Amino acid sequence: MKSPLSLISAGALALALTLAPSALAQSFNVDIGMNLAFFAGIPSDTYGAAAGQPGTWNAFLPSFTAAPLVDLLGQSSTVTLRSDATSTFNVFPGVMTPGDDQRLMEDFHITPNLNQNSTWTFEGLDDGEYDVYTYASDPSLSGLQTVIEVTQSLDPPQQIGAGWPGAHALGQTYSLHRVTVIGGTLELQAGTPGGMLDSGVLNGIQIIGPGGGFTLNYCMANANSTGLAASMGATGSPFVASNDVTLTASRMPQFSFGFFLTSRMRGFVQNPAGSAGNLCLSGAIGRFVGPGQIQNTGTAGAMSLALDLTSLPTPTGFVAAQAGETWDFTAWFRDVSAAGPTSNFADGYEIVFQ
């Protein structure tokens, strides 16, 4: 079985050290809560969660005092984390299968209610662009919602919460923000929507530092007729010379026709051409509609496509991917709504080729 591209980028720490040692030093995994061993403890070093970023997990009991963090290799860093609220909770008895997902999700911080947020502040970071994965879902309460905002990010606040749907999913178990850090400080806020009496939760945070990671899911997809949001992924290698990338899209309606799209630019277009979804691409968009490329999702509600990196589609013809280039992908598929036939999109998926 092929490995996910995200695991190639960070799954083998020796490879990651060769490619981006500075990114390793500025990337962090944080498990928030009491992290008691007889409840769940912290995830193992091999666990990458939604970011596909294995490495040492920091056990962080919410504290007003800035606590130093270790990097993915478990080495001391100058980066600290503090919060302005300290309540925690453990799910007991557990509702998840024992394992790393459970260790991350079944203990968490409880946010204030009635429009009061908790603030989480990383200090001592190098300036640059970071991707922030924030986990905010109570596995035992599918209706509980938490709003996550990264204050310096251009990405909007995101409302999260779906219990435990069986796997991590953007907009359900975690939010994703890209942020440019200036002055070494990164701040995020967690709260509840609309003055809810219930508190929200915060399970953990992963930040990927400048130059870290070769792949990224971004841009929240709308739920389709299955009740889920379609999700992009890939297997293979990010190295152009290997020419070994297979795109995947899942959580789509069964027996629906669709195809993949690509561009060199991210975007966010709501309901293009009357679609029920969000198009996560912009600029010159190419379509994979050649022989055998338009697919049916079948009984699995999924489709995949092996790419030829020497021949990626653009509106003006085919081009070869080059090392150092960033390409973005999504999937379009037919769907149905209460109003009748429509279409929808998966989230965006970005690959930085090496």
Per-residue pLDDT band for 12 (boundaries 50, 70, 90) equals: very low
Amino acid letter for position 7: L
pLDDT over 60 (residue 19): no
Per-residue pLDDT band for 22 (boundaries 50, 70, 90) equals: low
Q: Which helix (H) or strand (E) holds 148?
A: strand 146-150
Amino acid letter for position 148: I
pLDDT over 80 (residue 324): yes
pLDDT over 50 (residue 17): no
Q: If you average pLDDT over residues 339-354, what whole number do you get? A: 92
pLDDT over 50 (residue 275): yes
**Backbone phi, then psi, for 103, in 5-degree steps?**
-65, -35
Domains in the chain, CATH or no CATH each: 5-212 (2.60.120.430), 216-352 (2.60.40)
90 vs 348: which has the higher pLDDT: 348
Instruction: Output the pLDDT for position 13.
Output: 38
pLDDT one-digit tens code per residue, 210-251: 766 667 788 889 999 999 899 888 877 788 998 988 898 888
Query: By percentage, how much of the chain surpasses pLDDT 70?
Result: 89
Closest CA to 201 of 117, 92, 108, 115: 108
Per-residue pLDDT band for 18 (boundaries 50, 70, 90) equals: very low
d(CA 330, CA 346): 6
Instruction: Output the pLDDT for position 63.
Output: 86
pLDDT over 80 (residue 166): yes
* DSSP code of residue 94: -
The DSSP secondary structure of 249-305, one letter per residue, reads: EES--TT-EEEEEEESEEEEEESGGG-SSEEEEESS-EE--STTTSEE-TTTT-EEE
Contact of 238 with 246, CB cutoff 8 Å: no
Burial of 8 (0-12, 13-18, 19+ CB in 10 A): buried
Amino acid letter for position 321: A
pLDDT over 90 (residue 178): no
Buried b (16+ CB within 10 A) or exposed e, 136-171: bbbbbbeebbbbbbbebbebebbbbbbbbeeebbbb
Per-residue pLDDT band for 38 (boundaries 50, 70, 90) equals: low
pLDDT over 90 (residue 293): yes
d(CA 187, CA 27): 15
Instruction: Output the pLDDT for position 213.
Output: 61
Instruction: Output the pLDDT for position 1.
Output: 39
Q: If you average pLDDT over residues 302-326, what whole number do you get? A: 95
d(CA 40, CA 299): 35
pLDDT one-digit tens code per residue, 39-72: 668 999 989 898 878 889 999 988 889 999 999 9
Most confident of 51-65, 85-99, 164-178, 311-325: 311-325
Q: Identify whether 253 is preceded by a cis peptide bond (ω within 30 of 0).
A: no
Q: Which helix (H) or strand (E) holds 57?
A: strand 57-60
Residue 190: count other Cβ atoms within 10 Å of its Cβ.
28
d(CA 255, CA 251): 12
Cα 327-135-11 angle, rounded to 5 deg: 55
